[in-house]
Chain A
Amino acid sequence: MPDIRAFFWFFDFAGTRETKQVELTGAEIFVRSLVEQGIERVFGYPGGAVLPIYDALFQQDELQHVLVRHEQAATHAADGYARSTGRPGVVLVTSGPGATNAVTGIATAYMDSIPLVVFTGQVPTALIGNDAFQEVDSVGITRPCVKHNFLVKDVNDLAVTIRKAFYVAMTGRPGPVVVDIPKDVATARAEFHYPKRISMRSYNPVTRGHPRQIKKAVDLMLSAKRPMLYTGGGVILANASSQLTEMTKLLGYPITNTLMGLGAFPATHRQNLGMLGMHGTYEANMGMHNCDVLIAIGARFDDRVTGNVDKFCPTATVIHVDIDPASISKNVKVDVPIVGPVDQVLKEMLKVLKESKKKPDADAQKAWWKQIEEWRDMDCLKYDHDSDLIKPQFVLEKLYEVTKGKAFVTSDVGQHQMWAAQFYKFDKPNRWINSGGLGTMGFGLPAAMGVQFAHPKETVACVTGEGSIQMCIQELSTCRQYGLPLKIINLNNGYLGMVRQWQQFFYDGRYAMSYMESLPDFVKLAESYGHVGMQITRPEDVEPALKEAFKMKDRLVFMDFLTDKSENVYPMIPAGAGQNEMILV
Chain B
Amino acid sequence: MRHIISILMENEAGALSRVAGLFSARGYNIESLTVAATEDESLSRMTLVTRGTDEVIEQITKQLNKLIDVVKLMDMHEGPHIEREMMLIKVRAAGPAREEVKRLADIFRGRIIDVSDTTYTIEVTGTSEKLDAFVGAIIRTDIIEVVRSGVTGIARGERALHL
A residues lining the B interface (CB < 8 Å): 139-140, 143-144, 147-148, 151, 168, 200-203, 324-326, 329-330
Closest CB of chain B to A358's CB: distance in Å? 32
The residue in chain A whose Cβ has the minimal distance to the Cβ of B58 is: A329
Known: A139-B14, A201-B71. 5 other contacts (CB 8 A): A143-B21, A148-B68, A202-B9, A202-B70, A203-B68
What 1/0 mask marks residues of chain B from 8 to 20 whose CB sits below 8 Å from any chain A CB? 0110011001100
Which residue of chain B is the closest to A325 with respect to CB atoms?
A: B62
A409 → chain B closest CB, angstroms = 32
Q: Which of B17, B62, B69 contacts A202 (CB 8 A)?
A: B69
Q: How far is the CA of A329 from the CA of B25 in the complex (A)?
A: 19
In the complex, the answer to whether A326 meets B17 with C-beta atoms within 8 Å is no
CA distance A151 to B9 in the complex (A): 17
Can you report 27 A-B residue pairs in the complex whose CB atoms are below 8 A from each other?
Answer: A139-B14, A140-B14, A140-B17, A143-B14, A143-B17, A143-B18, A143-B21, A144-B25, A147-B68, A148-B68, A151-B13, A151-B14, A201-B71, A201-B163, A202-B9, A202-B68, A202-B69, A202-B70, A202-B71, A203-B68, A324-B66, A325-B66, A326-B59, A326-B62, A326-B65, A326-B66, A329-B55
Residue with the highest number of chain B CB atoms closer than 10 Å, among A143, A200, A325, A326: A326
List the interface of chain B (C-beta within 8 A of A): 9-10, 13-14, 17-18, 21, 25, 55, 58-59, 62-63, 65-66, 68-71, 163
Query: Per a CB cutoff under 8 Å, which of A140, A143, A326 touches B63?
Result: A326
A21 to chain B, nearest CB (A): 33
Instruction: Provide the residues of chain A in CB contact with B69, threshold 8 Å.
Output: 148, 202
Whether the pair A144, B66 counts as a contact (CB closer than 8 A) is no
- Top 7 nearest A-B pairs (CB, nearest first) are A326-B62, A148-B68, A202-B71, A144-B25, A203-B68, A325-B62, A326-B63
* Inter-chain contacts of B21 with A (CB < 8 A): 143-144
CB neighbours of B59 from chain A (8 A): 326, 330
B145 to chain A, nearest CB (A): 31
The distance from the CB of B43 to the nearest CB of chain A, in whole angstroms, is 10
In Å, the complex CA distance between A330 and B60 comes to 10
Residues of B within 8 A of A148 (CB): 68-69
Chain B residues lying within 8 Å of A329, measured Cβ to Cβ, are: 55, 58
Main secondary structure of the interface of B (DSSP, over half): helix
Question: Which residues of chain B are near A200, meaning CB under 8 Å?
Answer: 68
Nearest A residue to B18 via CB reads A143
Q: Which one of A203, A324, A329 has the highest number of Cβ atoms from chain B below 10 Å of its Cβ? A: A203
A225 CB, min distance to chain B CBs, angstroms: 29
The smallest C-beta distance from B41 to any residue of chain A, in angstroms, reads: 15
Closest-CB distance, A195 to chain B (whole angstroms):
17
Report the bound CA distance from A510 to B127 in whole Å.
58
Distance of A46 Cα from B147 Cα, bound (Å): 50
Q: How far is A290 from B18 in the complex, measured between Cα atoms in Å?
A: 41
Question: Bound complex: CA of A151 vs CA of B18, how far in Å?
Answer: 14
CA distance A202 to B25 in the complex (A): 22
Cα distance A4–B62 in the bound complex, in angstroms: 59
- Bound state CA distance, A230 and B162, in angstroms? 40
Contacts of A168 in B (CB 8 A): 68
Write out the residue numbers on chain B whose beta carbons fall within 8 Å of the beta carbon of A202. Answer: 9-10, 68-71
- The CB with the most chain B CB atoms within 10 A, among A147, A151, A168, A325, is that of A325
Q: How far is the CB of B115 from chain A (nearest CB, A)?
A: 41
Inter-chain contacts of A330 with B (CB < 8 A): 59
Docked Cα-Cα span, A200 to B68, in Å, equals 9
Q: Which residues of A contact B163 (CB under 8 A)?
A: 201
A325 to B58, CA, bound (A): 10
A345 to chain B, nearest CB (A): 18
A202 and B68 CA atoms in complex are apart in Å by 6
Q: Most B CB atoms within 10 A — which of A147, A202, A325, A330? A: A202
**Complex Cα distance A325/B14, Å?**
24
Q: How far is the CA of A475 from the CA of B33 in the complex (A)?
A: 47
Contacts of B55 in A (CB 8 A): 329
Which of B17, B65, B66 gathers most chain A CB within 10 Å? B66
Once the chains are docked, how many angstroms separate the CA of A366 from the CA of B104? 79
In the complex, A201→B58 CA distance in Å? 22
Residue of B nearest to A204 (CB): B71
Query: In the complex, what residue of chain A is closest to B66 when comparing beta carbons?
Result: A326
B residues near A201, Cβ cutoff 8 Å: 71, 163
Contact yes or no, B65 A325, CB < 8 A: yes
Q: How distant is the Cα of A326 from the Cα of B18 in the complex, in angstroms?
A: 17
Q: What separation, in Å, do the CA atoms of A148 and B66 have in the docked complex?
A: 10
CB distance from B11 to the nearest CB of A (A): 11
Interface centre among B9, B13, B14 (most CB of A within 10 A): B14
Distance in angstroms between the alpha carbons of A202 and B18 in the assembled complex: 14
Chain A proximity of B161: nearest CB distance (Å): 14
Closest to A140 in B: B17
Closest B residue to A201 using CB positions:
B71
